Amino acid sequence: MSNIPETGRTSRITIRLVVLQVLVFSLLLTLGGRLWYLQIRNGQEYDAKAASNQIQQVVTPAVRGSILDDRGVPLADNETRLVVSANRTDLLEQADDGTAVLTRLAGVLGMKPKDVEDKVRLCDAHTPRPCWNGSPYQPIPITDAATTQQALQIMERREDFPGITAEPTAVRQYPSPDKANAAQVLGYLSPVTDKEVAASEKTDNPLLRSDQIGRSGLESTYDSQLRGKAGVTRYQVDNLGRVIGKAGDTPAVPGDNVVTSIDAKVQAITEKELNDAMKAARTTYDPVTHRNFKADSGAAIVMDNHTGQIIAMASEPTYDPNEWVGGISFKNYQALTDAKSNYPLLNRAIQGESAPGSTFKVVSTSAAIRAGYSEDGPYDCSSSFSIGSQVFHNDENESYGPISLARALEVSCDTVFYGIAYDQWKKDGGTDPKHPKDWFYKTAHDFGLGAKTGVDIPGEVSGRVPDRQWKKDFWEENKAGWCATAKKHKNDPNPPLKIAIAIENCPDGYVLRAGDSVNYAIGQGDTLVTPVQMARIYAALANGGTLYQPTIGKAVVSPDGKTVTPIRPKVTGKLPDSKSTLSYINQALAGVVTEGTADWKFQGWPQDKIPLHAKTGTAEVSGKQSTSWFDTYTKDYTIVMTISQGGTGSGGSGEAVRRIYEAMYGVQKDGQKIDPKKGIMPQPVTALPKMSGDGAAVTQAADTARFDDFFANTPAGGPAQDPAPVLAALTPTRTEKLLYGRKYT
């Protein structure tokens, strides 16, 4: 029996009861506070969320705008195809969740039942593709290649195919008008990623999981204008996900059209001539390597001198952009990204960097005149030039004696530029400069080299001007490796060239040496340029010194054709030359065609009627055959062509560039007659193409009329004739009228 007094026991019980009461009261107070927070403080927010859980959205993709050439011809458009789709909501109402329906559908379409079932399953972390990545409440496409007969079978037997539809739908296509490929210019589409969808949520036009967006080229640059805005239909659903009513509808807004400065006919001839020049080079013997030239890649640009607008841009090797339509196969993707294919996805016009060779001498001429060197000279064009024990040779050891700077440009005399550059290097202080003027490097920057031009397609690279700052940065990045090599081979009496360079660069690789300067003056050494940079420079020489930002987009046109937003030429700089210097360089470059390094390719050219200016370039590349450069211009146009491992400038590209000019101006083969009516573009196209009321270019109005005439005679039960040939022949810029206004069943 306990000895604890009765009063002590009662006291402890009382304390326990009080603690219990406090605990219960605290719990009630917490619950009450939480209920107040949920029902009063945040009640409206949770009411809205609860309501939204009863609404599901079905997305109607917007018709993507077209990319048109300067005359309104579609370069990227929408092809009307018969698309068979399945509605998961209707299928799940079937006793077997739609398995029987999908099996019958597979039989009609000539597909395997499993392939059809895989198409309609929803994607998640554990589901392999193919699967559906969009909303489960919107129609899921099974095929976009259905025949008219298959579509009619499905629609005439609706009781056998509940939840299945077959209707015309827009599918992206790249029609290659006049055989103009323009793959790297146009780009391609591919599905969005979850990261891109999340990043776009707070924008004016958020991406949907089922969207496709531009991945390169114009499709990427102008994606927001081309894409339009998807339509959204909102449905009320019950707690089992069944649709019980419609809550609203926002129609799709089709994308804008983008009119470009590309001319399909000029693009086609530029691509053809570049390809033919590369084929010809591969049959030409290289006396240096004692085998035929490889001509493994190339690029060509045609630019309007007065605006900087690009009329044609070709890159080799190339590919068919239609390979991406509907999703590219693994096999085709692997082929496009394999080293054996030499990476056709690269746009070598803006991403191909190489030494410019003698085409760079226009920059060196400008630098020499700015530095105070006489235009007339005379300068000794000897067969070689020596600095200490190092000998720099003229091309093929040619010698022209005392000549002017203009004549040095005409015959592309290396030793003249060696001499001037070496003299200026000494004036700047040699290896111990105090306040160097650096005219040759400064002038290259003033010409826009070493920086992106700002061309309106993604992926452009900046090239390189190997000035003192670049030398210092490059040395700091590599000195550890150079010094480690130098230490390892310090006792080698005759180290290989690569090791000898490392030994030399270890202590003072940041120093700008005489050899660097003389090589740089003729466009060799560490200098890198792109074709679009050189086209911009030569266009500026032609137009009086204005550097334009190169552009391809010319205007954005609304779907109805009523609102036109021009993309105006943008001046980004001026060449650092006086009018007299520009005139001097122009005269010299005309002499290249008539009595210089390009005259053998332009015999009979009507120089008095269409004055042509040119500069040839043959750039040496370590471990490879020489790169061919040919930079030219007339009053209106600049054409630049380059071929990697393609030989000399005029030999590799001269004939091809001449043929492009002949096609543009209507010059007959003998050069004695010019017929502008037979020329593709005897003068630049400045006006925008006329647009019809539905936003289509006038050139396509006849196609739309054919479509309307066809469906005007269609009986209620379906087409009396097969519409496939009519649909295939159409090239409508605006397809929403065709898709939504003339559906047939």
What pLDDT digit, counting tens, does each position of 352-409 carry? 999 999 999 999 999 999 999 999 989 999 999 989 888 898 877 788 999 999 999 9
For residues 588 and 346, the answer to whether their CB atoms sit within 8 Å is no
For 697-735, write each residue's pLDDT tens digit.
Answer: 655 544 444 444 444 444 444 444 444 444 444 443 333
Residue 203, pLDDT > 50, answer: yes
If we measure between CA atoms, which residue out of 352, 427, 717, 416 comes closest to residue 588? 416
Residue 312, pLDDT > 90, answer: yes
- Decide: helix, strand or coil at residue 135: coil
For 545-589, write each residue's pLDDT tens digit.
Answer: 999 999 999 999 998 888 999 999 999 999 999 999 999 999 999
CATH 3.90.1310.10 fits 56-255, yes or no: yes
Residue predicted with more confidence, 211 or 285: 285
Q: Tokens for 181, please give them.
A: 């490929």
> Which residues neighbour 70 within 8 Å (Cβ) at sequence distance 6 or greater?
259, 260, 261, 262, 263, 311, 554, 685, 689
* Residue that has been written with the tokens 């700015």 in this structure: 370
Q: Tokens for 407, please give them.
A: 């004549």
pLDDT-derived band at 7 (thresholds 50, 70, 90) equals low
How many whole angstroms separate alpha carbon 699 and alpha carbon 51?
A: 50
For residue 143, what are the β-bridge partners? 84
Cis peptide before 496 (omega within 30 of 0): no
DSSP 346: S
Fold annotation for 264-316+348-356+532-660: Beta-lactamase (3.40.710)
pLDDT at 584: 97
How many whole angstroms separate alpha carbon 212 and alpha carbon 360?
A: 42
How many whole angstroms separate alpha carbon 633 and alpha carbon 362?
A: 13
pLDDT at 745: 28
Distances (CA, A) of 588 to 522, 595, 614, 712: 16, 10, 9, 65
Please compute the mean of the pLDDT values over residues 46-57 and round it to a whole number.
59
Provide the residue type at 506 as one letter.
C
Dihedral of CA atoms 557, 560, 562, 567 in degrees, nearest 10, equals 0
Q: How many CB atoms lie within 10 A of CB 427?
A: 14
- Decide: helix, strand or coil at residue 166: strand
Torsions phi, psi for 629 (to 5 deg):
-125, 135
Q: Tokens for 589, please give them.
A: 């470059």
pLDDT-derived band at 121 (thresholds 50, 70, 90) equals confident
Residue 540, pLDDT > 70, answer: yes
Q: Tokens for 365, please give them.
A: 């001429």
Torsions phi, psi for 385 (to 5 deg):
-140, 130
For residues 636 and 682, the answer to whether their CB atoms sit within 8 Å is no
Distance of CA 112 to the CA centre of its chain: 38
Structural Rg of the chain based on CA atoms? 35
Torsions phi, psi for 533 (to 5 deg):
-65, -45
Q: DSSP letters of 618-673? A: EE--TTSPPEEEEEEE-SSEEEEEEEET--SHHHHHHHHHHHHHHHHHTB-TTSS-
Torsions phi, psi for 108 (to 5 deg):
-70, -40
Q: How many CB atoms lie within 10 A of CB 391?
A: 9
- Decide: helix, strand or coil at residue 144: coil
Q: Tokens for 230, please give them.
A: 């998807």
For 147-182, write each residue's pLDDT tens digit.
Answer: 888 888 888 888 899 999 887 778 889 999 999 999
Residue 267, pLDDT > 60, answer: yes
pLDDT-derived band at 490 (thresholds 50, 70, 90) equals confident
For 445-480, write each residue's pLDDT tens digit.
Answer: 999 999 999 999 999 999 999 999 999 999 999 999
- pLDDT > 90 in the chain, percent: 57
Cis peptide before 317 (omega within 30 of 0): yes
Q: Tokens for 741, please give them.
A: 């206004």
pTM of the model: 0.81
Q: Tokens for 736, please give them.
A: 């929403």
DSSP 586: H
The CATH architecture one would assign to domain 358-521 is: 3-Layer(aba) Sandwich (3.40)
Please compute the mean of the pLDDT values over residues 106-114 and round it to a whole number.
92
> Which residues neighbour 106 within 8 Å (Cβ) at sequence distance 6 or greater?
112, 113, 115, 116
How many whole angstroms separate alpha carbon 1 and alpha carbon 39?
A: 55
For residues 634 and 612, the answer to whether their CB atoms sit within 8 Å is yes
Distances (CA, A) of 600 to 283, 341, 597, 604, 647: 19, 34, 7, 10, 15
Helices 439-446 and 414-427 sit at what angle, rounded to 10 degrees?
A: 110
Where do the structural domains in the chain lie, given as residue ranges?
6-53, 56-255, 264-316+348-356+532-660, 358-521
Please compute the mean of the pLDDT values over residues 212-239 and round it to a whole number.
86
pLDDT at 356: 96
Q: What is the mean pLDDT of the chain?
A: 86
For 81-98, write each residue's pLDDT tens digit.
Answer: 788 889 888 888 888 888
- pLDDT > 70 in the chain, percent: 86
For residue 235, what are the β-bridge partners? 56, 246
Please compute the mean of the pLDDT values over residues 287-294 and round it to a whole number.
94
pLDDT-derived band at 3 (thresholds 50, 70, 90) equals low
Region of poorest pLDDT, from 16-25, 247-256, 616-625: 16-25
Same CATH topology for 56-255 and 264-316+348-356+532-660? Answer: no
If we measure between CA atoms, which residue out of 129, 91, 124, 86 comes closest to residue 108? 86
